[in-house]
Amino acid sequence: MVVRELELVKPSMMLDTLTKMPPGLVPFYDKMMEKVQEQPQEDVQQCIRMLSMPTIAYRPLTLEELGSLSLPQAHTSTPHEGDVKWYIERCSAFLTVTEDGFVHLLHQSVKDYFAHSPETTLGSSLAALHHEMALKSIAGMQRTLRRNVYNLDHDGAPVPTRSPNPDPLASVRYSCINWVNHLIDSSSNPEDFADHGLADRFLRSSFLHWLEALSLLRNLSSGITILSNLLSQLQVSPKASVDSTDTDDYKATGESSQFFDLIRDMLRFVRYHKHASGEECWPE
């Protein structure tokens, strides 16, 4: 990281730059954040978002994914890759892009630095950032997912061995699999999991499109895990509980909410579809 910083200065200024660098990682990162803060305020806010999403993500994000989750976009478009790279360059003391197009925090210590005091460094708590990630994920999926998104020849066609280029799912691959976990980790308002709440509204409007996307991503089994996690989350509600999360037939022991019953039926549907298809193909 020090080397990357020195690459930005003239050779005659290297010694002076080195002597001004504070000892220890935290003071060094503080100094790098001060440089981020020196940019125009609009750019500072975008850089903060660029740093926030990789800090809480469960795996490295691609350029397309990071752009979709971090930058503002029109209703039907995703951010230009050049804009994403431009902001990453503004944060080059903390972020790097590998040859395969994944964005990484430079070191585990960077993640620890942001996660230790996110309100100070990133302007929000970790819970609030997880909620923002969930909201951005849902917005991206609603903007992108549609029936037969890969324009396959017929319903029930096998999943293609190669994704189309450009891939319409490239910006939402992460979101399709991780949106529920971020919503759970946000410790957000219980209304997000209530009837007509955030999760309920998304699944009622986009369930089949989301299921198709998971099939095309060859990750239909994640749908079972995601819906099971939702049911587990709903167990904490006094209105619904579950006898066992290991059986196909979930049974409410108390008064079930409409959303609880919906998730239970969706879980049965996904399990049946996966078993009946024998291979992952997109739903008819």
Side-chain-side CA neighbours of 90 within 13 Å: the count stands at: 23
Six-digit token string for 72: 């503002």
- Per CATH, which fold does 2-121 belong to? Arc Repressor Mutant, subunit A (1.10.10)
In this predicted structure, what is the pLDDT of residue 249?
A: 42
Question: How would you write 170-217 as a 3-class SS string?
Answer: CCCHHHHHHHHHHHHHCCCCHHHHCCCCHHHHHHHHHHHHHHHHHHHC
How far apart, in Å, are the Cα atoms of 283 and each of 168, 208, 211, 249?
18, 8, 8, 22
User: 166: cis peptide before it, omega within 30°?
Assistant: yes
- Residue 22 DSSP code: P
Gap between the Cα atoms of 28 and 46, Å rounded? 21
Residue 144 C-alpha from the chain's centroid: 14
Q: Where are the domains of the chain?
A: 2-121, 126-277
**Helix (H) / strand (E) containing 61:** strand 61-62
Gap between the Cα atoms of 98 and 101, Å rounded? 5
Gap between the Cα atoms of 281 and 77, Å rounded? 27
- Residue 9 DSSP code: S
In this predicted structure, what is the pLDDT of residue 45?
A: 94
CB 97 within 8 A of CB 47: no
In this predicted structure, what is the pLDDT of residue 8?
A: 60
CB 17 within 8 A of CB 6: yes
Please name the residues in contact with 81: beta carbons below 8 A apart, sequence gap of 6 or more. Answer: 63, 64, 67
Taking the CA atoms of 166, 169, 172 and 174 in sequence, report the sign of the dihedral they define.
negative
Q: Is pTM, for the whole model, over 0.85?
A: no
In this predicted structure, what is the pLDDT of residue 162?
A: 84
> What is the maximal distance between C-alpha atoms in the chain?
74
In this predicted structure, what is the pLDDT of residue 81?
A: 84
Question: How would you write 98-160 as a 3-class SS string?
Answer: CCCCEEEECCHHHHHHHHHCHHHHCCCCHHHHHHHHHHHHHHHHHHHCCCCCCCCCCCCCECC
List the chain residues with pLDDT less than 70: 1-24, 73-79, 154-157, 188, 236-256, 275-284
In this predicted structure, what is the pLDDT of residue 278?
A: 53
